[in-house]
Amino acid sequence: MRFPRYLRVLLAVGSGATLALSFPNYNLPLLAWLAVGMLVLASAGARPIESLLYGFLHGIVFYPVCLPWIAVVMHQYGNVDPGMSAGIVSLIGIAGGIVCSIFSLCVALAARKSAALACGLAPFLWVSLEFLRAHLPIIGFPWNLTGYAACGSLALLQLVPLTGIYGLSFLMAAYSAMLAYLVIARTQRAWKLVLVGWALLILVAAVGRYLVPRETPRFVAHLVQTNFPQSEQYPARWLEIHAGELQELERISVDAAKKTPGLIVWPEVPAPFSFEEPAFAALATHIARDSGVDFLVGVVDWKRDANGQWIASNSAVLLDPSGRRTFTYDKIHLVPFGEYVPLRRWLTFASRLTADLSDFTPGSRYGVGHLRSVETYAPSAGPPFGVFICYEAIFPGEIRRFTANGAELLINISNDGWFGRSAAPAQHLMMARVRAVESRRWLLRDTNNGYTVSVDPYGRVVASMASDVRGELDAPYDFRRDLTPYARFGDWFSWLCVLVSVALIVVGVRRKTIAS
């Protein structure tokens, strides 16, 4: 189908905008079912060189509209002026636009053979490029993948234990590409395909939610929301200055555990917490001993490397009921330009972004800890759990490793205070919630100021706490041992999409070459 150039531009811009508006805080998820098809229509029939522009326009619109909070964080906490902050967000859009240009180019090349080939290629290629976004070195950033827009449907969400989030992205891209084929082909058969597909989706979403099982949890954890204001710098006497607030948090934690014995969790380090600081070490030990339960807390953990140099890590530390340190997890996937500066030798300007933030050393082990104070069917060491920290929640292929390594419970500690009251905390929760379903594990998510929740293995938020308050959430949870296909085999579906994409592109190009 031949569209005028201005219409192709509008379709490309519209595809980026509709996909961005599908996510919090816009919350128009049905638009995501149109986005990929709009980009297919913009690209199919266009000259290959011209098609690059349409994919680029999609990315340059999607990222700034969807992620404006990045500029706020850099300006408020990175001492970056508003103009430069906006420029960096634009660079993210440019990088995303380059990736989307690959999609548009391949669709345009396939469409030279047939519209059916182009539309058939689209969902496989779309997932392949989302998979690429998660694995690019340094700039890999799989935030708000297309499939997350459908995770509000409890029924559709049950696809992810098989395929990971990429299966939902494929489903949405495939339906959207089918809509594009309807516009191009204009046949009665195409109309029937779309109507049948739409009817099936509505039926599954409407009826399937009632078929999703419910679990009755046997245990309660105490998720403590510390609600400390976010700060760029902390004075040397911070613990002394805030002694009253820390005593309040100690009381909240111990009283809750004495009332209902259960694991106590504090969030990702919300203040200068470190076991190398005697006052904090004493506080944490008292909480574990006085409550008589396990205590998991986020800290800055200092240790010596192989050369004897002191290094810091963003860590989660578990104390057993005697106050003894029994497990430490060091955050592996650090935030570029937030927790470390990649390519520091060349990117000297980036020091401004981390001038007042910690420069952490990444961990290397997806280890599991054991809860000593929980009596279950598990071995005497206590039931195993995996903990991941903040930003790591957006990487499905990494979080599944905890479950594959034996974790029967997932815990996510985070400090979303950096985001303020932007859309980021809701987007972050949306993605963390999917991690629970992919592994069929209960997820306990504890944050500094929201959102603190308990999520069941099917994606239901079964308990939550109000944002921006200090307090404790009695969070129900349980343990599971079974392994989902995704937890066991990882990103098999994404790799399948990569192989099919390559095959379809090769077939399309070869046949076109022979025909010419």
Active site residues: 268, 331, 390
CA distances from 333 to 104, 139, 343, 403, 428 (A): 31, 12, 16, 17, 15
Q: Under DSSP, is residue 325 helix (H, G, I), strand (E, B) or coil?
A: strand
Q: Under DSSP, is residue 328 helix (H, G, I), strand (E, B) or coil?
A: strand
Burial of 365 (0-12, 13-18, 19+ CB in 10 A): exposed
Q: Under DSSP, is residue 65 helix (H, G, I), strand (E, B) or coil?
A: helix
Cα angle for residues 423, 491, 137 (degrees, 5° grid): 65
DSSP letter string over 353-409?
A: TTTTS--PPP------EE-TT--SSS-TT--EEEEEEGGGGG-HHHHHHHHHTT-SS
- In angstroms, the first-to-last Cα distance of the chain is 20
Structure-token pair, residue 251: 């009381």
Q: In which residue are the tokens 């245990």 written?
A: 219
Burial of 26 (0-12, 13-18, 19+ CB in 10 A): middle
CA 109 to CA 348: how far, in whole Å?
41
Look at phi and psi of residue 382 and say left if phi exceeds 0, alpha if psi is from -120 to 50, else beta. Answer: left
CA 325 to CA 413: how far, in whole Å?
18
Beta pairing, strands 310-319 & 295-304: antiparallel
CA 497 to CA 147: how far, in whole Å?
15
